[in-house]
Amino acid sequence: MKRVVVVPSILSANFCRLGKEIQEVLKAGCNLIHFDVMDNHYVSNLTMGPMILKSIKNSGIKVFFDVHLMASPVDSLIPLFANLNVQFITIHPESTNHLDRTIQLIKKIDCGVGLALNPSTSLHFLDYVIDELDLILVMAVNPGFGGQKFLTYVLKKIQQVRSLIDKSQKNILLSVDGGISLSNIVNVIQSGADYVVVGSAIFHSDDYLKTIRKLTDIIIDN
């Protein structure tokens, strides 16, 4: 049976108690945290950077991070995430003038390479770089802000990416981010997701542990 992983997105966490928020979701069995970096250029929002990730690591929190760079130009940021417990660095093809060069920069710091596809981003980018990827992130909302509504037409895109991954016969993970909740997670996993990135549904709930267990139970049942 396919194992789908719930990845909490701390974009929706309470930044005043970020360390405790991370510890809470780790108690629920999560072992990968989604870390959104926004620069107020590629998207119209400003969030976290490598200094915060370094502080989390130095505090003794032992967890791997899935870093999603919504920044442009992106190349100068990538080396700053070296040696910070980063498992994946995911970039947008629109954020760089030379996509292959940027992919090689991620490989150089020994991180898995992810490519993020916005709702309107063409899948043709994958024609040229899919063999270089470890993860493909399908955005189910337009990037920039948490708490947005899931765009249902993206389910078709998830299915298309799943088909491309299967045809490639590569060990590439399919991640989906944006508006995922208890009410739509079934559709997401049935469309082919390996990772479901969940922010507001977890961190805006009264009980993180209970919510993550509910999400996990739905995954197991489907």
> How far is it, in rounded angstroms, from Cα 212 to Cα 202?
7
Per-residue b or e along 31-41, where b marks 16 or more CB atoms closer than 10 Å to that residue's CB: ebbbbbbbbee
Per the document, the length of the chain is 222
59 marked ligand binding residue: no
Residue 39 dihedral angles phi and psi, to the nearest 5°: -115, 5
Of 136, 143, 100, residue with least CA distance to 120: 143
81 marked ligand binding residue: no
Q: Domain of 194: which CATH number?
A: 3.20.20.70
Q: Which residues pair with 6 in a beta bridge?
A: 196
Residue 65 dihedral angles phi and psi, to the nearest 5°: -120, 145
Name residues of the chain where pLDDT drops below 50.
Answer: 1
Among residues 39, 66, 177, 194, the one annotated as catalytic is 177
pLDDT digits (tens, 9 = 90+) for 143-152: 988 889 999 9
Output the pLDDT for position 1.
46
The number of beta carbons lying within 10 Å of the beta carbon of residue 64 is 13
Output the pLDDT for position 2.
65
49 marked ligand binding residue: no
Output the pLDDT for position 144.
84
- What the block records as the tokens of 59 is 């505090």
> What predicted TM-score, i.e. pTM, was given to this entire model?
0.96
| Domains held by the chain: number | 1
Among residues 36, 75, 134, 194, the one annotated as catalytic is 36
Active site residue 177: yes
- Write out the residue range of the structural domain in which residue 158 sits: 5-221
34 marked ligand binding residue: yes
- Coil, strand, or helix at residue 195? strand
- What the block records as the tokens of 189 is 């996993």
pLDDT digits (tens, 9 = 90+) for 160-175: 999 999 999 999 999 9
